Amino acid sequence: MTRVLIVDDEIDTLNLLRMILELSGYQAVTTLNSVDAITLAELEHPDCVLLDIMMPQLDGFTLCKMMRLHPSTAHLPIVFVTAYSALDLEERRVDAGADMVLPKPIGMDALITTVQEAISRRNAPQPLPLSASATPPSGAEITPPPAPAAPSLIPTSPAAATQTMTPVPTGPAPATTPIPTSPIPTSPIPTVPAPAQSPASTPSSVLPSAPTSPAAATQTSAAVSSTATPSADSAQTPPVASAPTATTPPTVPDKDGKTRLG
């Protein structure tokens, strides 16, 4: 059963809180003296503490700080149940170390819900703070963890190794069937007739043969030069007209059989 320690200097409020908790299945431990709260917590080992703030000897803020410093109550969930409504209530709650605040007047459902929430917060696992060595410096590359190695396919047992090393019988190599090759058809290359010679071309047989001896070459060149180049005398002398030739009159026979000139 969950135990709840109630610390309040008002007897009516103390009895009301105890009745609500017992009706809801909790076990209530109460005290009117704030000085005896830590000693009672060491003896009863409560699961949650309900503190009033405005008390005569030790106010709720001071008592909460003392509980946080004591080893037996340092991790207990602490809830302020108070009519104190100053503006600095939340700031002072955080400074004292309390978990929640439940304002008065108190409702039954609100009380049970607050106690359950305070206990669940303290029992929840807290994240571990990162140490300075675990925090990588800014700009440093974070190396991902290596991937797990793939399972080896090599058997490790002797029996499996023997089976693996057993040679596999090999038969003769299959005969290779030659691939038939078909002859490549060859087509005759057509011959192109030679073009006919034009009439303007001079056959080689017409051209004069070159002289074979030096003397003949000299005579040939001289003859060519004499025929091609006229002399100076022939160029200045006019052609001589030929004299008319005398024609003989025909002879006509006379009656007597004598011939005479016609």
Q: What is the pLDDT of residue 248?
A: 53
pLDDT of residue 156: 56
CB of 82 closer than 8 Å to CB of 54: yes
Structure token pair of residue 121:
């917060």
Q: Check residue 158 and give its pLDDT.
A: 54
Distance CA 252, CA 262 (A): 5
What residues of the chain score a pLDDT lower than 70?
126-145, 147-262
Q: Which of 121, 91, 84, 117 is nearest to 8 (CA)?
A: 84
| Residue matched to tokens 């106690």 | 115
Structure confidence by residue, pLDDT tens digits, 2-40: 999 999 999 999 999 999 999 999 999 999 999 999 999
Joined together, the tokens standing for residue 74 give 């340092």
HEC string of the chain? CCEEEEECCCHHHHHHHHHHHHHCCCEEEEECCCCCHHHHHHHHCCCEEEECCCCCCCCHHHHHHHHHHCCCCCCCCEEEEECCCCCCHHHHHHHHCCCEEEECCCCHHHHHHHHHHHHHHHHCCCCCCCCCCCCCCCCCCCCCCCCCCCCCCCCCCHHHHHHHHCCCCCCCCCCCCCCCCCCCCCCCCCCCCCCCCCCCCCCCCCCCCCCCCHHHHHHHHHHHHHHHCCCHHHHHCCCCCCCCCCCCCCEEECCCCCEEEC
| Domain range 3-122, CATH architecture | 3-Layer(aba) Sandwich (3.40)
pTM as predicted? 0.49
* Cβ(143)–Cβ(120) below 8 Å: no
- In one-letter notation, the amino acid at residue 181 is T
- pLDDT tens for 58-82 read 999 999 999 999 999 999 999 999 9
Specify which residues 43 forms β-bridges with.
none
